[in-house]
Amino acid sequence: MSFFASKNTKFRTQGLKFDSVGFVTGFLLLTLLPVLVQSNNYILQVFTHALLLANLALAWNILGVSGSISLGHAAFFGAGAYCSAVLSLEYGFSSWFTIPLAGLLAAGLGLIMDLICLRLRGAYFALATLAFVEIPRVITDNWDELTHGSLGLVGVPGLPSLSLGTWSVDFGSSITASYYFVFAYSLVLLGLVRFLFNSNLGLAFQAIREEEIAAEAVGIPANRYRLLSLLLSAYFTGVTGACYAHLVRYIEPGLVYGLHFSAIPMIFAICGGRFTILGPAMAALIIYPLNQFVFHPLLPAGHEFLYGVVLILTVLFLPAGFWGSLRKVS
């Protein structure tokens, strides 16, 4: 273990310095964004969604860091979205309560997935996750009494409101407020990811990823740690799905369980850098707004091309991801 520790300290310090600068710059820009753009709703709206996707990518990467690539995170996303939407729309609970609960449901699904995929590794695990999405999807689609089935849910309540004494803010009613809500969530998630990376837990994840058998030999129970990373990843993906439902307010099974929400976090995490803390978030915050502001008006039908090209170039030339490569040369 001490071998791991010493090697990592050096790498950690250098990378951390780079990360810190990047983080501070990003934090300042994002905190001041509403002021910079004079509360332009359009720009804020795009960045709110970019932050949401960044959260999705960060959550996905919690699993990615322990070496497992999942192609079926939409299962957690959709389950979280529906759980929170149904509880708040049909039963009137406040979103403060339903959003964390949605995460728990998604984590429960993660537990089931782990039990099924216990002995699977690598590509087989990835494919199992791909198949797994169908289970919550078909159940949601057919359980008409609870979820309205294929009709989808219309008019899901918005993000919750907060009152402290005389001051209150409804996060669902203004775009600026929603933006800060999602931003705050990003900071929490980022903090957790950073803690994970730098802790012994993170080291264990890394050990499992790099060389599982050797890790087992040193006494790291791979299955247990993978389960932990999967549970955390599923929980936060579920919470992100719930936030999505409250932001967009119209969901249907085909949308929230679709391949789009399985692929996007993977694309951002890989392009940003699977082995970095900030990478996935950076990729989301750069590529998505770029797509919406620049590529979209210029070539409306070509935007999907962008994702494909970025993915191919990254995997061929920058296997450590954009952010990861920048870190490496420092």
Q: Can you give the three-state secondary structure of 97-164, one letter per residue?
A: HHHHHHHHHHHHHHHHHHHHCCCCCHHHHHHHHHHHCHHHHHHHHHCHHHHCHHHCEECCCCCCEEEE
Of residues 26 and 100, the one with the C-beta less far from other proteins? 26
Between residues 133 and 242, which has the closer beta carbon with respect to other proteins?
133
Residues 6+ apart with CB under 8 A from 186: 51, 54, 55, 58, 281
Q: Which is nearer to other proteins, 8 or 45 (CB)?
A: 45
Residue 81 beta carbon to other proteins: minimum distance, rounded to whole angstroms: 11
Smallest separation, CB 167 to other proteins (Å)? 23
Cβ proximity to other proteins: between 157 and 202 the closer is 157
* Nearest distance from C-beta of residue 165 to other proteins, angstroms: 28
Separation CA 114–CA 86 (nearest Å):
26
Given the complex with other proteins, which of 104 and 128 has the nearer CB atom? Answer: 128
**Residue 164 Cβ vs other proteins, minimum distance, rounded to whole Å:** 26
The distance of closest approach from Cβ of residue 218 to other proteins in the complex, given in angstroms and rounded to an integer, is 21
